Chain A
């Protein structure tokens, strides 16, 4: 199933200056915003519901439902926040959108601004993407000059919206929405204890919408083509197209836009996408959706569709869209140890189970790596994973166990071989 017409990347490569409002409009930009301001707000929410656009940051929560929650919140002002703190290893798709089509993100945020009667939007761009922050600044000032940001947008009285750009400082956990808000407020970016939901108590303690870059970029597409058509692009478990990032031992590393529901084999092996391994060896496993996503063995992924529903039924997850491919030269214990090193480095330290637990897990895994495991180690490993999952406050700690457990399920023999 080849892409007929890209949806998210349709302007990428065509525009000579990605920040130019003129060019953006030439290739269909701001049509959705023009349409949205003539629509009833309820109808916009209805289209988003029908589209079944799932959050593209990783959690896959239906965007329509999230927007409705905020819509129902009576407190004002409401804030619109774009999470551009892309820090998930194996993920580099937001970077592409931020750099090559920043105005589509701005348009998505503007539509949100219109729906919620919000005047202020924030975009939190990871600190490592400094050159992209500059591109985005340019896009914002161009939009401002052209009357698509600021006061009385497109001449509509009462439609005022400003976008503020905030830089991250190199902390993975700030990709967690509540930590991100703390960081925007100038605090150390540690997650908040929830509830309350951010749609009730968010930025500056006001109702706040936080969506991923790709999610915002999808919103104009939904408005333009209508919810039903967007859904048809994907499957009944999630509409639209998805940006995927292929990395690791795959021949054609890079970003691709695929319709949800594309066979995984096609993504991995067809020349149009992955093109098989770069090493000529067979694929051993794929790590999906980022470090906190599951690992799928070659047997498990055979015949799978790249789709939310089909992935869930195979105990996999789409997550951020990352697909890290590893060939059969890689020992899974080595791989998981590398993943755990990342979590140790990035745990913010707020919750003891995560702060100490990840360190203890790493020590145990390193022991296994050196074949110094002792009987009972795997049981201890599983117990610790359970503790961290249940006792951590945020998604980082709670999902440390996902990759390790999936590796244990798929390759228990390799772990057992490390025990003397």
Chain B
């Protein structure tokens, strides 16, 4: 699994493509089905290409009741796409995930390894602009 996580983080589009899965299977002397069993079981591993920045909004109860829904509304307004859809430029997508262990700064967005907390409409707007311009790296 760790091999797969590292490969995914190193990949352009943030997923395990067919060739990669086949290569891992061959190297580890296991079937591709076994590799896909792992990929499909663990939430962090993806079978499909992802947007460049996937904004993951924590929606477990501490965040849910710290206005995480408003984060989605802000993002929808800012990006013009509903949850689960990627923007036309392929840069952004957003969805809910369970607890990321940052309950003290909810509501939060997680992008790759970075958590952005204590969000409001304005902070989110600045965050998106900064990401677009490449001002922050994640």
Contacts and interface: CB of A to CB of B under 8 A. Distances in A.
Contact of A167 (B2, B63, B106): B2
The DSSP consensus for interface residues of chain A is: mixed
Contacts of B43: 169-171
A14 interface: no
B65 A249 contact: yes
B74 interface: no
Contacts of A324: 61-62, 103
Contacts of A130: 9, 113
B45 interface: yes
Nearest to B104: A253
A89 B44 contact: no
Interface in A336-393: 338-339, 341-342, 345-346
A87 B62 contact: no
Contact of B37 (A188, A248, A338): A188
B54 interface: no
A104 interface: no
B95 to A, nearest CB: 12
A11 interface: no
Contacts of B61: 89-90, 248, 287, 291, 324, 335, 338-339, 342
A186 B1 CA distance: 6
A126 interface: yes
A95 B104 CA distance: 12
Nearest to A336: B61
Given A169-B44, A183-B1, A247-B106, A129 B65 contact: no
B99 interface: yes
Interface string A94-108: 010000000000000
A317 B101 CA distance: 20
B99 A90 contact: yes
Given A167-B1, A169-B1, A248-B62, A92 B102 contact: yes
A97 B24 CA distance: 34
Interface of A: 86-92, 95, 126-131, 166-172, 183, 186, 188-189, 245-249, 253-255, 287, 291, 322, 324, 326, 330, 335, 338-339, 341-342, 345-346
The list of the 6 closest CB pairs from A to B, nearest first, reads A169-B42, A89-B60, A170-B43, A170-B44, A247-B103, A89-B99
